[in-house]
């Protein structure tokens, strides 16, 4: 079974909003998992530069040939991540997703999933989340399911 938006919704994922609207969402402080999906089935256009912030002096951009080699044809999910629980506003799904959005706008606080910031249509990508009592276990399970389906990790996941 494909890991489509419909399947994710049936499994309890919520949101499905662009990064630009995350600040307006009532995001949980709970730990959980999140995904970045691309609803277009058009071929991707990769940018030579990244909108993401440099981290520790390192440019987040990679070559467009590297991005093309990492692309997973037919997959809606581009990235799977997790957020640990917390009580402060900078923890849980709320904090982690806002860090991710800031990274794409030039910040440095979320280095994972950085390949999405070299997609020409990154502003149209959707983010969905699901609170979970065992974020690492849920993330590992969803990554394993994706790998079984596609024989690769999602495009922006660099390691399992």
Let me know: does 97 contact 21? Beta carbons within 8 Å: no
Give me the percent of the chain exceeding a pLDDT of 90.
61
Q: Estimate the share of the chain in helix, then strand, then coil, as percent rounded to the nearest 5.
A: 35, 20, 50
**Closest listed residue to residue 139, CA positions, set 76, 80, 98, 77:** 80
End-to-end CA distance of the chain: 21
33-47, 49-63, 80-94, 103-117, range with greatest mean pLDDT: 33-47
How far apart CA 134 and CA 126 sit, in angstroms, is 23
Contacts of 148 (CB under 8 A, 6+ apart): none
Give me the percent of the chain exceeding a pLDDT of 70.
92
| Strands 77-83 vs 32-37: parallel, antiparallel or unpaired | antiparallel
The helix/strand count (H/E) of the chain reads as 4, 4
Average pLDDT for the chain: 89
Query: Rounded to the nearest 10 degrees, how much is the dihedral formed by the CA atoms of 37, 51, 136, 132?
Result: -60
Let me know: does 117 contact 155? Beta carbons within 8 Å: no
> What is the residue-wise DSSP string for 77-122?
EEEEEEE---SSTTSHHHHHHHHHHHHHTT-SS--TTGGGGGBTTG
pLDDT digits (tens, 9 = 90+) for 76-135: 999 999 998 866 556 789 888 888 887 777 776 666 788 999 999 999 999 999 999 999
């Amino acid at each position: 079974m494909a890991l489509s938006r419909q399947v994710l919704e049936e499994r309890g994922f919520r949101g499905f909003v662009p990064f630009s609207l995350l600040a307006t969402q009532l995001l949980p402080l709970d730990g959980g998992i999140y995904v970045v999906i691309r609803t277009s089935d058009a071929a991707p256009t990769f940018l030579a530069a990244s909108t993401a912030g440099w981290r520790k002096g390192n440019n987040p951009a990679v070559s467009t040939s590297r991005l093309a080699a990492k692309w997973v044809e037919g997959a809606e999910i581009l990235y799977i991540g997790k957020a640990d629980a917390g009580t402060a506003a900078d923890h849980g799904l709320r904090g982690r997703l806002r860090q991710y959005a800031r990274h794409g706008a030039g910040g440095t606080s979320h280095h994972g999933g950085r390949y999405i910031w070299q997609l020409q249509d990154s502003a149209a990508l959707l983010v969905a989340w699901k609170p979970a009592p065992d974020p690492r276990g849920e993330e590992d399970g969803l990554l394993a399911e994706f790998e079984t389906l596609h024989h690769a990790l999602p495009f922006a996941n660099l390691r399992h």
